[in-house]
Structure 1
């Protein structure tokens, strides 16, 4: 593990592989309750061709945050990722963002396209403005909605497992939390207090004009079995980001890179090499 001082905060990251001489670093940005360990299942295949840099966002593991403070904001995380890329001093990078990290990747492409060569958004999280809402959305919960405040309240009351079950089952289906192995369960526990910050993080919805203005070559990836809002957002963005490509990982849900790591890597590597 290494750290970079960015905007007054020491951002922890893993730096794995060397890549080919002409390939830029591949920066991985995790989602809610994740950290640089989120990508463990795909670090091996990705690092065979690329220098892979997996970072932890502000207030996530290895920090054990208590939820106190006012710097857990989406805008702060976007600024931090921009500063982190700048401090790599490597020129434009390829960026893969999952869920919250996908939202961040979209905002980086919007604000600083000069920092990116290619962009991969794996089921980016957030909300769509009314102009982007499809007429017929598939049924299912939208975990970025009421489940986050409810789970955060459970955290405040000391019910950590209840909060995690509410959040995780809301994304990947009832009983998912109970079936998770010990290692991913601990990773989520290590970051549980970040839910307190997410309640008031001031995340803006995706706007139609913003998507249409993205010029970074973009791949959007979804799990074939993902339900609810997360199955809608990436498809809608793909319709409006010019030239966007799409990939579906069959038989998987939101954490598709854990559930089918080789298939996920194949989709990412093929896009980066195109």
Structure 2
């Protein structure tokens, strides 16, 4: 594990594989996660690409208590931009999952000069009225559930809070069925959810989508339910140079459930 000092914070990262005359692939994890989540795809992807995989501010291996105002979408976007700049490797390929996909989308908006290609695996977020005729404004419909989850965590009921979060995304009864290692990784990042409910992330707009000019791959789990598929399809319809790949029989953690298929579609896109 290495680290880069960005915006006053030592950002830890893994650097795996060789350059192979291609841009490196920088990977940004999602909520309650960290650089370990990419472990199941490191092998296949590093056969062709150098992978640089950071853990965002306050995520494992950091130990954060949820106090302070340095956890936000804006902070993490700024950190990823500074991280890529400090690498001094020229334009990179950037891949993000869930909340990390939202961060990567905003990086692509703000600093397209830093990127060659963009991979967004079910980016998290909401849609404004320009993309969703049913938009009513106000907080995300998921926010109340995530706030309840964060409240349990803040009160010391880590597993209870994580169960609310996981079951909200994947369906009732999911938490007890998770493998022990996955549960522990979630526990290691539990307090970041306290910061996340204060994110106040702006919804995606049609103008946002149209501003993404680099080739972009959207990746969707065929069995993912709820808001995520709606957001993905709305963005993909308006990002000019985009394509969408669907991973059969997979839900939101699609690269953990179907790593071989996920790597196939990503490698094919990056080779284009």
TM-score (norm 1): 0.95
Structure 1 residues 173, 134: closer, same or farther in 2, change over 3 A?
A: farther
Q: CA deviation at 1:34?
A: 0.6
CA RMSD after TM alignment: 1.3
Kept in 2, the 8 Å contact 1:143–1:170? The answer is no
Q: Which residue of 2 aligns with 1:81?
A: 80
Structure 1 residues 241, 11: closer, same or farther in 2, change over 3 A?
A: same
Q: Which residue of 2 aligns with 1:6?
A: 6
Q: Which residue of 2 aligns with 1:106?
A: 105
Q: Which residue of 2 aligns with 1:247?
A: 245
Deviations 1:148-193 (A, max 9, x none): 1110111122111111111111111122111111111100000000
In 1: Cα distance, 2:110 partner to 2:23 partner: 20
Q: Which residue of 1 aligns with 2:130?
A: 131
Q: How does 1:196-215 map to 2 (within 5 A)?
A: 196-215=194-213
Deviations 1:111-158 (A, max 9, x none): 00000000000000011102211669xxxxx78432211101111221
Question: Which region of structure 1 is more displaced relative to structure 2, 58-67 or 197-206?
Answer: 197-206
Which runs of no fewer than 5 residues in structure 1 stay unpaired? 137-141
Which runs of no fewer than 5 residues in structure 2 stay unpaired? none
Kept in 2, the 8 Å contact 1:99–1:122? The answer is yes
Kept in 2, the 8 Å contact 1:151–1:166? The answer is yes
In 2: Cα distance, 1:262 partner to 1:7 partner: 36
Question: Which region of structure 1 is more displaced relative to structure 2, 33-42 or 169-178?
Answer: 169-178
Kept in 1, the 8 Å contact 2:143–2:197? The answer is no
Kept in 2, the 8 Å contact 1:125–1:144? The answer is no
Q: Is 1:229 the equivalent of 2:227? A: yes
* Partner SS, residue 18 of structure 2: strand
Q: CA deviation at 1:273?
A: 0.3
